[in-house]
Amino acid sequence: MKKSAMTLSLSAVLLATPMLASAEPLSFGEHQTIRSMASAGIGQAIVNEMGAGSMAVINNPSAVCGALAGGLGASMLSADPQAGFRIATLRSADDAAAAVRVTADKDVAYLALGGNLARDENVALAHAYLQELAASEWDGTLVLHISSWMQKQVQAVAEADTAVADYLQGINMVALQPDLDAGQAVMLGVNFDGESFTTEEMGRQDMREDLVELFRRM
């Protein structure tokens, strides 16, 4: 699956980290609502637009990451009941090898490390997973959840680990992020040349107004 063929629907751009201060913080239920809205279309788009038949979601044990992962699976399986889908949860670096075994036969690895964990914790989990992924020479598409992209988790790992940096130069990567001023979700093709990460906008789609308003309150 080459980047040029990816036209992932962006009605389902995903959130995990605060972006704007608000006098009215989101309730836990609203945090869950955002993840439900966000995941509603992404799994279907991975099947219908990217042409993937399988996906592994790599998350951490926070409740909101669990809600997101479950929503991704439900939407993917509604599009293709026979799709391969698994969730691999990284509670610590010790879980990385098992997560890569789950990923091994999947077309897409969806890195969704956000939730209630600090950035340093998420970077450490991403590092452990990407080390194992590089060693396995998996050659699918790595999709970066907005938290993983905006926290620069993969960028930090590439800076710290030459083997991972070399590996990332040879695989397809996609990142998702919102443009709240435009009320749109944006998909970015991500390239890494060994020195820096560059992006190319691949598409935009309008987001529903109530989702944008929830974004703004985060």
Q: What is the pLDDT of residues 152-186, one digit of tens each?
A: 999 999 999 999 999 999 999 999 888 999 988 78
Supply the range of the domain harboring residue 174. Answer: 3-216
- Residue 152's CB: how many other CB atoms inside 10 A? 14
For the chain, the average pLDDT equals 87
Contact assessment for residue 174 and residue 144, using Cβ atoms and an 8 Å cutoff: yes
Query: Over the stretch 16-42, which tens digit does the pLDDT of each residue have?
Result: 444 444 458 899 899 888 888 888 777
CATH of the domain at 136: 3.40.50.2300
Task: Give the count of domains, the chain.
Answer: 1
